[in-house]
Amino acid sequence: MRLQAETLVAGRYKLLAKLGSGGMADVWCAEDTMLDRRVALKFLHERFAQDEQFVERFRREASAAAGLQHPNVVGVFDRGTYDGSHYIAMEYVEGASLNDLIERGLSVPEAVEIVRQVLAGARYAHTHGIVHRDLKPQNVLVDGEGRARVTDSCRRSRRRGCPSPPRPTSTRSGCCCTRRSPGGCRSRRSHR
């Protein structure tokens, strides 16, 4: 499927501009024509569309993230399929990734405030049984007012029938952060 500006997705989302592309998805800025607001649409790459387990995980992650409402977590509004491609509609954050801000240079007070906000968002998710598993500067967006929001790859760690959120855990596959503490992934050597 080839997406382009002005395409109307699911009779609702008008694509405006491609924001970026990652290993598993392309992200577009779109206009939600029903609610008159900007959103970010994340489209799963076609090569994953035939993998039923991957698609189901993508859907579950969208549903889990949609349950989170916090000022430091990007909101998820909708998920669906368009022309054979699976998508997630998320809050659009006008600003820059933390990775871009690090490259430009941050003052110590700015960095401390951003980290405080990221930790607040991650803590909120953890108290709701959600573990991010890919928390890195590329997955943190900072708007023009300096508010940081965690985005991308939230994963539910709760098992069905569990009466309360478990203590958040992760698997080795979740240890892919480029910046991590030396003890962050005990099963792998720390690369410095």
Residue 1: its pLDDT value, please? 67
Where exactly are the structural domains of the chain? Answer: 9-91, 95-174
Q: Where are the alpha helices (DSSP H) in the chain?
A: 46-49, 52-66, 98-104, 108-127
pLDDT number for residue 161: 36
**pLDDT value of residue 130:** 86
> In this predicted model, what pLDDT tens digit does every residue of 92-148 receive, in sequence order?
999 999 999 999 999 999 999 999 999 999 999 999 888 888 899 999 999 999 999
CB atoms within 10 A of CB 110: 13
Instruction: Give the model's confidence band at 50: pLDDT under 50 very low, under 70 low, under 90 confident, else very high.
Output: confident
User: 27-61: buried (b, 16+ CB within 10 Å) or exposed (e) per residue?
Assistant: bbbbbbeeeeeebbbbbbeeebbeeeeeeeebbeb
**Inter-residue contact 106 to 114 (CB < 8 Å):** yes
Minimum mean pLDDT range among 68-77, 113-122, 155-164: 155-164
Q: Give the residue, 23 or 6, on which the prediction is more confident.
A: 6
Query: What is the pLDDT, as a whole number, of residue 134?
Result: 84
Model pLDDT, residue 2: 83
Average pLDDT for the chain: 82
Residue 132: the pLDDT is 84
Question: Global pTM?
Answer: 0.76
The owner of tokens 């997705």 is 9
| Domain topology for 95-174 | Transferase(Phosphotransferase); domain 1 (1.10.510)
CATH superfamily of 9-91: Phosphorylase Kinase; domain 1 (3.30.200.20)
Which pLDDT band, with edges at 50, 70 and 90, does 186 fall under? very low
HSE (CB half, 13 Å, CA atoms) of 58? 24
**In terms of residues, how long is the chain?**
192
Residue scoring higher pLDDT (65 or 29): 29
| Long-range contacts (CB closer than 8 Å, 24 or more residues apart) made by 56-61 | 58/86, 58/88, 59/86, 60/156, 61/153, 61/154, 61/155, 61/156
Query: Is 61:155 a contact under the CB 8 Å cutoff?
Result: yes
| Catalytic residue IDs | 134
Per-residue pLDDT at 153: 55
Indicate the SS3 state at residue 103: helix
